[in-house]
Structure 1
């Protein structure tokens, strides 16, 4: 937590221990931190240089913590000052960059990035520097869950149905209400990420030397990619929205777990993927689905989805939950 102001894990642990104890000898502190005494001494000396700890003048051999409000406040102030200087330097460099582009006829439209590290770094840069919106097309080939979005930045993503289980790691459904607007389609034409409609990144086929990605700067090509995303977005299926029925296993209504299972199945996940997403057993999922089908008196899951919407258990994204009597 304190790494942002220059403390490593050992220093932070030592400082927290000193704050909790008031004062401590090296041997006691090393035992509390399960560190060799020489490592505890090094951590204390680094804290001393940063003004966070000092040798006790009244009790030789013991160390005391500096008051957090004063000592950490000073470090935070220094970090803010350095960050402000870095921001001014970045703005100056950007101004010089744009002036150079204006003198040479504009930027290169395409940029090729090679290697696992550089490609991953450019993905992070696009996502973290976006100010308004990130748009993504995610194929079944794209590994891992959807990345978190920066607070205040919208994220629209169309996910290929085969990759839905991987794109949404356990608990990932909650992201739909925390910045992600998700839709599902059978197939996306390419993996794609667009930041603020000013920069795009397309991963290409991996080479023997590692992954390759194409960065597209502002241009007619970028406009075409944005139009492609919007076309896929329009045709994709929105994720159903839960209406928040109260858990009540004895009532003739689904509980919260039933609704999550139903929502994931309507998104196109298999029973196995749904079980993994919700950390349930496969038989538990299948048993609950069977109970829901018996509850509404239907023979197929397609009929179950229709009845779930008609009864107000789920609603389309952007649609207000409808007050509809549940006739059982």
Structure 2
């Protein structure tokens, strides 16, 4: 269905084919609201495949708003941390009423409900509608939490379960010591140290030493 200012696309393939170029066209502002990193993956990746990198545009403001589903597991969390290297990212505790992208205050792309069947996407250029979507985004953004603060608070909530030895081990991971050096400094056998590191990785939801080190640095103020 199409009007002068609204075009409805059916499925990710049509989204990519007819509107994929829009994702890389931002010059002043790029806003994104989504439950997780999957909703817009096809269109964004298509734009990137053509060499479009909107965050390379000087003066471009990029804000991305997600729900806790975007950090539901270690892999998703690591991807979102990478996203935060080129955009402001916040986590909304409240559900998002609509997943949307707003580009340069001129175009809004709205994702239909993720119901069974083909998902629809509406490309809207009607100024009043675009402005309304942007206003809703701003309201949700103001009440959301910065990604790094969200991760720090979530990690800090696990601290009561950590013993003094566990906190010292986290410091060693955060400082980048080798296993051998850390075990020696802590007065532990290498085998015991590695076993304790494995236990801490499980407790903190980290899938690698690198992630455990990141969590350790996030917790640094509480250790």
The TM tier, using the shorter chain, reads: 0.5 to 0.7
Distance of aligned partners of 1:272 and 1:139 in 2 relative to their CA distance in 1, 3 Å threshold: farther
Q: Give the Cα separation in 2 of the matches to 1:113 and 1:168.
A: 27
Q: 1:118 and 2:37 equivalent?
A: no
Q: Give the Cα separation in 2 of the matches to 1:144 and 1:110.
A: 19
Q: 1:237 and 2:182 equivalent?
A: no
TM-score (normalizing by structure 2):
0.57
**Alpha-carbon deviation of 1:141?**
8.4
CA contact under 8 A between 2:171 and 2:220: conserved in structure 1? no
TM-score (normalizing by structure 1):
0.41
Gapped regions of structure 1 (runs ≥ 5)? 1-106, 243-248, 258-270, 293-304, 311-327
Which residue in the other structure is 2:163 paired with?
Answer: none
Counterparts of 1:143-222 in structure 2 under 5 Å?
Answer: 143=39, 149-150=53-54, 151-152=56-57, 153-165=60-72, 168=76, 170-177=78-85, 179-186=86-93, 187-205=95-113, 210-222=118-130
**Higher RCO (C-alpha 8 Å, min separation 6):** 2
Counterparts of 1:3-18 in structure 2 under 5 Å?
Answer: none
Which residue in the other structure is 1:266 paired with?
Answer: none
Larger radius of gyration: 1
Q: Give the Cα separation in 2 of the matches to 1:132 and 1:198.
A: 11
CA contact under 8 A between 2:29 and 2:103: conserved in structure 1? yes
SS in 2 for 1:240: helix
**Alpha-carbon deviation of 1:218?**
3.5
RMSD: 4.3
Give the length in aligned residue pairs. 167
CA contact under 8 A between 2:70 and 2:80: conserved in structure 1? no
Q: Give the Cα separation in 2 of the matches to 1:239 and 1:206.
A: 25
Q: Give the Cα separation in 1 of the matches to 2:33 and 2:101.
A: 7
Q: Give the Cα separation in 2 of the matches to 1:201 and 1:113.
A: 10
Q: Give the Cα separation in 1 of the matches to 2:119 and 2:204.
A: 28
**Alpha-carbon deviation of 1:112?**
1.1
**Alpha-carbon deviation of 1:142?**
3.8
Gapped regions of structure 2 (runs ≥ 5)? 152-167, 177-201
